[in-house]
Structure 1
């Protein structure tokens, strides 16, 4: 009776065993099986839990088509045991389940002994003969150990969808025969030697290729990819000899180039290319025409060295400058630019909605930090002239230094009219007294003439008199820019947007403001 009861309980617990194998494989791939596959400290407990849950589940691990071996994941396991496990698990899968092909085989390790190389050769050939859809080989040989060369059979695995090779020799068949990668979608090559002919073979043998990545490779000078209808993403980075890139791919949408050298480029036929990341030098006399290589780009990340950066594009909407350009070194004709980021000054431009407005306005967010002097404000004023159509300026000043009065007077001596803006938001994070705040506010009004302004401080002013002094000073500067007989200034606290409080109501204004953050809005209106 006891045996019968036990059997009934086991059958009740083991209902999952009656599911088809492919469903159980799918479940196994989602329950954190990787921990015990990697041989970590949870190996035995995971194995025990699986065998208790279902005897069939334990047996099915032998046919589990995801073979992933990373030596850095095998903590507290000797190299000898790691390679024994790789050999055991691969052989077990390939020899005992002829009807199941491998979905994924990933091997990442170093080679220190010839015996380790022999195991790698054996296991990779087993999997390739079996058939695999995702293959990743990342192998670094230490000095004195022969570098691993992939077998020739690799070029005939037509079911392969993703291939990543790092640190190996390519099969000799890559050099003499056309490949049969009719299903390949993703290709990544890193730290390998290839020549222009291999690039040509890859171009003609992978009709479904969508993602191409070539990093830190040598031996080729030209990247020529033509006629690829499915290619969407290309990365060419840190290769030592690339001189020319020619791509004709109607559906290419993203390009990453990081060569740190001048190159000839031809991508004008890539009409869907929208995002470009470029690290490298520009050809002499090609500065202003750089974006002509990408006539349809709307997002550009750029890290390049030149004395003056000149960009011209009607399609560009987002620009990220990773080089340390001063504001006066930047000149561009980009009428549709909506967002901008600079590494040195941390300024961005993006569409913003101004209150009392129903449409987006071109906006620049500028976040200077460190030492902010009169020269910086002069550069800002000159930069504003270069960006036609700018309507909103969001300026966040973070500094522990004050703007000296004598420097401010020198700035005012420069006869430049203030730039017309719809709105300015000014946030001051300084440790100075109200006089220093006044100087920064004064410099902002020398730069621009806004229709409305928000004054914001991240820390509350010391007392009511100090707050009142800043508010009065801002109010005066706004009026100085207008015909005072025809203009009035409304003062609105953010905590009470419905009640517009006049300057004579400063005590009520002070009480209405939040204790942690001071925000006051000034609006110019006709009297």
Structure 2
């Protein structure tokens, strides 16, 4: 009888960690089931460097059970003095967890955590206030992601906690702040010589962002939607100035959503971004005349909701992907040089005055003629996917796909 060899247990530890890390996306039950394959795996799982926990996976369990599970997950690191590479506490919907979260974050900082992510799902206006223990992790953090967190003002100085944290994170490469508050109007991102990815989403009362990051590759900023300010409906009342002072030679991805950046401000910033490959503009309700001049740009996505009047795309010779979504094409598509374009997605929503008409019936035909001229300029030998979708309320979509 042939000897049975346990190949699974002989896998290198870093491969087992990778498999377990992928399994955690499907839930704790699936991750635990995988560990039944081998006693070795079970031991490795208990001391895994990446502790990733979603409270939503415990929706049918008591709060005490959830707290106990997190404590048990972290206990082997305390007993064996193991490093915690990653601590992700996601979908936290119980405000009663505040004191426990403070304790867990403090424990992670003592074990040199590199990636810290906190995702709050508390209802109402409650935010989680970041504890002072996070400063101890600043020297080892390479990734920080916070959702619905509050940075209180440091009463001993004029600097808030976030600004102090940024000043003490020399290794950080990835910084994401979503729906955070207490940023004290201005955010200065400087001194982060390793920062590659910066994402700021819907952070309250943020009036100015100044970036000095020589290795910055990706920047995403989501401002405040105009419809949320029903009293004024004035963009001028929601200003947020963005100034990229360094990193424009390395920035390849720029995404602006609900931005109050003006035409002049956008054109000035774009002129400095010599390495830009992806540009996404979504609902930028102040911009009206957009000039895109970018030699290396490969993808341009414009999601407009009726404010843009003109877009000039004459100087984007390497564009491969173009996406548009809005009520009406705000420019002559024939101004774009499509010689290298490989994909074009156009999605139109009919203006209210046209909703009782056939989808193409009473709409101005000028943009239809422009599309026809546009298609004729393609280099068909390279192939093309061209999609047009028109929609109006109460009617199904009409989709036309051409593959020359």
TM-score of the pair, normalised by structure 2: 0.71
Question: Equivalent residue of 1:252, what SS?
Answer: coil
Aligned positions of 1:341-420 closer than 5 A: 341-344=345-348, 371-373=359-361, 380-381=368-369, 384=372, 389=377
CA RMSD, 1 decimal: 4.1
Equivalent in the alignment of 2:271:
268
Deviations 1:199-244 (A, max 9, x none): 31x322x211111111111122122213x23211111014464432
Equivalent in the alignment of 1:186:
174
Question: Equivalent residue of 1:152, what SS?
Answer: coil
Corresponding residue to 1:219 among 192, 200, 205 = 205
Distance (Å, rounded) in 2 between the aligned partners of 1:384 and 1:143: 50
Aligned positions of 1:20-59 closer than 5 A: 23-24=12-13, 26-30=15-19, 34=23, 38-40=27-29, 46=34, 49-50=36-37, 53-54=38-39, 56-59=40-43
Distance (Å, rounded) in 1 between the aligned partners of 2:253 and 2:292: 15
Give the Å deviation of 1:102: 0.8
Distance (Å, rounded) in 1 between the aligned partners of 2:70 and 2:240: 41
Equivalent in the alignment of 2:90:
108
1:81 to 2:55 alignment: no
Give the Å deviation of 1:155: 3.2
Distance (Å, rounded) in 2 between the aligned partners of 1:398 and 1:188: 33
Distance (Å, rounded) in 1 between the aligned partners of 2:363 and 2:270: 40
Deviations 1:366-390 (A, max 9, x none): xxxx655597766533655688946
Distance (Å, rounded) in 1 between the aligned partners of 2:113 and 2:57: 23
Question: Equivalent residue of 2:77, what SS?
Answer: helix
1:234 to 2:222 alignment: no
Deviations 1:240-288 (A, max 9, x none): 644322223211111111015454332322100121000134647x51x
Distance (Å, rounded) in 1 between the aligned partners of 2:334 and 2:177: 36
Question: Equivalent residue of 1:344, what SS?
Answer: strand
Give the Å deviation of 1:154: 2.1
Distance (Å, rounded) in 1 between the aligned partners of 2:222 and 2:389: 36
1:97 to 2:80 alignment: yes
Structure 1 residues 72 and 132, CA, compared in 2 at 3 Å: closer, same or farther?
same
Greater helix share, 1 or 2? 1
Distance (Å, rounded) in 1 between the aligned partners of 2:116 and 2:385: 49
Question: Equivalent residue of 2:214, what SS?
Answer: coil
- Larger displacement relative to structure 2 (270-279 or 23-32): 23-32
Unaligned 5+ segments in structure 2 are: 155-160, 226-237, 350-357, 391-397, 399-404
Distance (Å, rounded) in 2 between the aligned partners of 1:14 and 1:25: 17
Question: Equivalent residue of 1:218, what SS?
Answer: coil
Equivalent in the alignment of 1:209:
195
Equivalent in the alignment of 1:412:
none
- Larger displacement relative to structure 2 (243-252 or 127-136): 243-252
TM-score of the pair, normalised by structure 1: 0.56
Please identify the structure whose Cα radius of gyration is greater.
1
Structure 1 residues 32 and 396, CA, compared in 2 at 3 Å: closer, same or farther?
closer
Question: Equivalent residue of 1:313, what SS?
Answer: strand
Deviations 1:448-483 (A, max 9, x none): xxxxxxxxxxxxxxxxxxxxxxxxxxxxxxxxxxxx
Whether the 8 Å CA contact 1:261–1:280 is kept in 2: the answer is: no
Whether the 8 Å CA contact 1:129–1:153 is kept in 2: the answer is: no
1:149 to 2:133 alignment: no
Unaligned 5+ segments in structure 1 are: 1-8, 346-369, 400-428, 430-527
Higher relative contact order (CA 8 A, sep 6+): 2
Distance (Å, rounded) in 2 between the aligned partners of 1:152 and 1:88: 24
Give the Å deviation of 1:194: 4.7
Aligned length: 349
Whether the 8 Å CA contact 2:338–2:377 is kept in 1: the answer is: no
Structure 1 residues 120 and 219, CA, compared in 2 at 3 Å: closer, same or farther?
same
